[in-house]
Amino acid sequence: MNLDLTEEQKLIQQTARDFARSELEPLAARLDREEGRPAFLANLAKLARLGFMGLNVRSAYGGSEAGAVAFSLAITELARACASTAVTVSVNNMVCEVIQAVGSEQQKETFIPRICSGEYAAGSFALTESGAGSDPAGMITSAVHDNGQWVLNGAKLFISSAPYAGIFVVWAVTDREAPKGKGISCFLVEQGTEGLVIGKKEEKTGQHASATNEVIFDNCRIPEWALLGKLNDGYRIAVGELAGGRIGIGSLALGIGLAAMDFATRYSTERVQFGERISNFQAIQWMIADAYTELEAARLLLMNAAFRKESGKSFVKEASMAKLFATEAANRACYQAVQMLGGYGYTRDYPVERYARDVRVTTIYEGTSEIQRLIIAREILKSFA
């Protein structure tokens, strides 16, 4: 098995690393204080110009055609500096991919280039509801066909990038008589459409620059052609596309975990206690060894899932395994980093405190760790049936 990266993948990884160090890292602490939104959006536009908003999208629609492995590498490097930017780039890529996968030619030509070029700062998935989180089939937002249009009513929760997204991929019930999960459809709704209201902003533990809001649909009328994919096929679309998103979130977590351990390890070679650098103590060395071993295992799981996706093979189980392990390993790494810095790790004078807050949500969004275990078990048991 050849684990070497191609020259193109190395170039994308290095470009992402350089951009993260020069543009994202100096801004990250300000963004964590919820300052500098214009600079955050400006960096998204720069990343679009570099081709990072459509890494696995065909060039005909403005994408880079670099593939899923390059996508994973890029998200990891961006997350080392700014998790909020990395999650926005990840979601943007997945919005482009779902439109490319099931959209009409009109939808592809209209919306994908606007995200890839940066004309739209972001795209958003509007799936989660207050009563339909891990169980999206329980959603109640509805879409009714009326006089050649669709009319949406309902509310979505925890929607990333909502205030500055140019396009929303929205799931709604279109057949209330169908069995649970069978009567859901998917729609494209542009920002500024009458009846689309950006609601309450969530006050989050971390990833402060990435806006998270409620989105309300109040008799929101959209054209008939805004239906994405087939009628009543939305649940299958959601399940399929979330698998790709899990590679993105796992890669993001890996980047945060590496950033935390790199900082803490460097600190341990400088901090002196009992007349010695603390890196000489076995307790610290074992923290370093365990964390980096787990993060390397996470990287290999992510590369395997991304490679299978890029090769057109089934990757649902592998993506869930990678997301589960990477996010939990990164959480452990970030808390180890705080521990290595001692009291300083609990202050905002050092970035590990921010890394620990930013990484926490990675075991929750794009499917909790508990949901990943259900998916993994289901896929394994299928092979024994």
Please give the positions annotated as active site. Answer: 366
Helices assigned H by DSSP within 176-281: 234-268
What residues contact 22, with CB distance under 8 A and at least 6 apart?
none
What is the enclosing helix (H) or strand (E) of 206? none
d(CA 258, CA 254): 6
Task: Name the nearest CA neighbour of 306 among 288, 322, 327.
Answer: 322
**Cβ proximity of 151 and 219 under 8 Å:** yes
Cβ neighbourhood burial of 261 (10 Å; 0-12, 13-18, 19+): buried
For β-strands 184-190 and 227-228, DSSP reports them as: antiparallel
What residues contact 14, with CB distance under 8 A and at least 6 apart?
none
**Cα angle vertex 327, ends 323, 333, to 5°?**
150
Cβ neighbourhood burial of 275 (10 Å; 0-12, 13-18, 19+): exposed
What residues contact 364, with CB distance under 8 A and at least 6 apart?
none
d(CA 69, CA 299): 11
Phi, psi of 194 (to 5 degrees): -60, 130
**Cα angle vertex 313, ends 307, 316, to 5°?**
85
**Cβ proximity of 359 and 334 under 8 Å:** yes
d(CA 190, CA 226): 9
State the DSSP code for 20.
I
